[in-house]
Amino acid sequence: MSKPKIFVARAVFPEVLERLSQHFEVESNQADDVLTKEQLTARLKDKQGAFTTGSDRIDAEVLAACPQLKICANMAVGYNNFDIDAMTAAGVLATNAPDVLTETTADFAFALLMATARRVTESEHYLRAGLWKKWSFDMFAGSDVHGATLGILGMGRIGQGIAKRGAHGFGMKVIYHNRSRLDAATEAACKATLVSKEELLKTADHLVLVLPYSPAAHHIIGAAELAQMKPTATLINIARGGIVDDAALAVALKERRIAAAGLDVFEGEPSVHPDLLTVPNVVLTPHIASATIPTRMAMANLAADNLIAFFTGKAPLTPLNPAVLTQA
Ligand code: 8YV
């Protein structure tokens, strides 16, 4: 029997490709070219499966041109690159890669928070530029992380990991806003209190965004929300570009309406709003929150596991539209 054909849309670990090739006829993009929609469609046309990343958009147009496609396995927990409704309508299973990146991503939220609040990159640039001539009492004075109020918008698995680090590691008071309230045991483990969005914005010393992107979350932090934050506050976005209005944020940072921001995701990335590149009180990283080798390996293997399970008649591990599996 011939093996199902799959396309791996971006470069991955050779070990994972090797695993996949035991089960599939694999075509891969090890050159790691960022494919246009037309190129992606052309490569998927004769495939039954796709191994995708957050930069590969699967929508109704792609699906219509690829009638043999049965499953798209995303090597990401976020899946706003998938049009889930269109995939369900086309009978194409979508899977993502949750859990395996939770702790690594929560670690990174703290890396970015601490770098931002304590002005690590700004002061390093100053030193490298040869500007450091003497100690002074307020040089690069930042804001404390320990004991401060940590606000979390979006309290899923990663939000909870951040809350635990803040509450137990840094003695922070943790407040959160989420679509639904956590159960009492989880709230207690996170030492977190549910508040309104307005209260969150007004009270947080450090506000971390960890909610999934959806059209409803577009610019959920814009000029009006930034105006409600403390002028001493820090804003951290490790969620998705588009959740923050980057142009409004650049203005707020420039005018010191908030103290600083740490951003790992951007509207239209890899492009970054030009004004964010010129304001000093922002720490910018290129979407690396899940980037450790063990975690990226686990994410890739989970995407591979989903493909292998699906084509060997087993239950996929992390389906997003499981209704497809029972469709006639
Ligand atoms: C991925 C992410 O690295 O998992 C996610 O949702 O944003 C990152 O961990 C990125 O999306 C590439 O797939």
* Residue 56: CATH number of its domain: 3.40.50.720
Tens digits of residue pLDDT in 38-94: 999 999 999 999 999 999 999 999 999 999 999 999 999 999 999 999 999 999 999
**Residues 10, 64 within the same domain:** yes
Residue closest via CA to ligand 1's atom 2 equals 76
DSSP 217: G
Q: Which residues contact 140 (CB under 8 A, 6 or more apart)?
A: 118, 119, 122, 123, 126
Tokens coding 289: 């929150």
Residues with CB under 6 Å of ligand 1 are 53-54, 75-78, 101, 290
**Could you tell me the strand order of the sheet in which 260-263 lies?**
192-194, 173-177, 149-153, 206-209, 234-237, 260-263, 282-284
Residue closest via CA to ligand 1's atom 11 equals 54
**Residues 79, 181 within the same domain:** no
**Residues 117, 233 within the same domain:** yes
Amino acid identity of 142? G
Helices (H) and strands (E) in the chain, counts: 15, 12
Residue 299's domain spans which residues?
A: 5-98+293-326
Tokens coding 7: 């396309």
At residue 328, the pLDDT reads: 62
Q: Which residues of 104-117 are buried (b: 16+ CB within 10 A; e: fewer)?
A: bbbbbbbbbbbbbb
Tens digits of residue pLDDT in 166-216: 999 999 999 999 999 999 999 999 999 999 999 999 999 999 999 999 999
At residue 321, the pLDDT reads: 98
What is the percent of the chain where pLDDT is above 90? 99
Single out the catalytic residue among 157, 218, 219, 287: 287
Max CA distance (Å), the chain? 74
**Residues 164, 193 within the same domain:** yes
Q: What's the CA-to-centroid distance between 295 and ligand 1, angstroms?
A: 11
**Residues 48, 143 within the same domain:** no
At residue 1, the pLDDT reads: 74
Q: What's the CA-to-centroid distance between 141 and ligand 1, angstroms?
A: 33
**Residues 37, 165 within the same domain:** no
Q: Which of 299, 301, 320 to mutate to test the pocket of ligand 1 (most atoms within 8 A of CB)?
A: 299
At residue 77, the pLDDT reads: 98
Q: What's the CA-to-centroid distance between 136 and ligand 1, angstroms?
A: 41
Alpha helices in the chain (DSSP H): 14-23, 37-44, 60-65, 84-89, 102-117, 120-128, 157-164, 170, 184-190, 197-203, 223-228, 246-254, 274-278, 293-311, 323-326
Q: Answer yes or no: is pLDDT of 20 > 70.
A: yes
**Residues 127, 91 within the same domain:** no
At residue 38, the pLDDT reads: 98
**Residues 67, 113 within the same domain:** no
Total domains present in the chain: 2
Q: What is the pTM of this model?
A: 0.97
Q: Answer yes or no: is pLDDT of 279 > 90.
A: yes
**Residues 181, 254 within the same domain:** yes
At residue 327, the pLDDT reads: 81
Q: What's the CA-to-centroid distance between 9 and ligand 1, angstroms?
A: 14
